[in-house]
Amino acid sequence: MSFQEFKGRASRTMKRIFRIVLIIVLVAGIGLFSFYYWGVYDEGVRAGTVLRISKKGIVFKTYEGQLNLETFGALRGAHPITEAFDFSVEPGEMELVEELQQVALTGERVNLHYKKRYLTFPWRGDTKYFITKVERLGQAQEAR
């Protein structure tokens, strides 16, 4: 075997190894992106009154909101401590946005069901918390 043949074989082998490594890195990258994009870290419910719901952003317009959670101190008669819960609404959830706007205007107390994602993406929202359902407490009590 001449040096030129050896060099040609080595070159083909290196190209093959490079392609395999590139494919592995690409598949791992797609898998990791999918996990962070669609993966749910936490699911839960928060109760309070919706303070605001607004469309924000320069390039990517997203719906962002804030829920007022009133918690009370350990002492009786203590004044409520205002705590805010920031949330986002996933794109395409216009019925949910309209319902959030209605409860923000009326000031009624609601339960917001949410999912917490691993990462934020600019086209999806500013927070990791995404509202999935609005439960109006007035309607829930009437149903009982």
In DSSP terms, which residues pair with 47 in a beta bridge?
111
Domain boundaries defined on the chain: 1-38, 41-143
- Does residue 87 contact residue 66 with C-beta atoms inside 8 Å? yes
Residues 50 and 55: their CA atoms lie apart, in Å, by 15
In DSSP terms, which residues pair with 66 in a beta bridge?
52, 86
Q: Considering the chain, what percentage of its residues have pLDDT values greater than 90?
A: 61
Burial class (CB in 10 A: 0-12, 13-18, 19+), 93: middle
Residues 66 and 54: their CA atoms lie apart, in Å, by 9
pLDDT exceeds cutoff 60 at 100? yes
Query: What pLDDT does 73 receive?
Result: 54
Query: What pLDDT does 12 receive?
Result: 85
Q: Which fold has domain 41-143?
A: OB fold (Dihydrolipoamide Acetyltransferase, E2P) (2.40.50)
Residues 121 and 22: their CA atoms lie apart, in Å, by 25
pLDDT exceeds cutoff 90 at 111? yes
Query: pLDDT tens digits, residue range 52-76?
Result: 999 998 999 999 999 998 765 555 5
Query: What pLDDT does 144 receive?
Result: 45
User: If pLDDT is split at 50, 70 and 90, which confidence band does 86 have?
Assistant: very high
Residues 27 and 93: their CA atoms lie apart, in Å, by 30
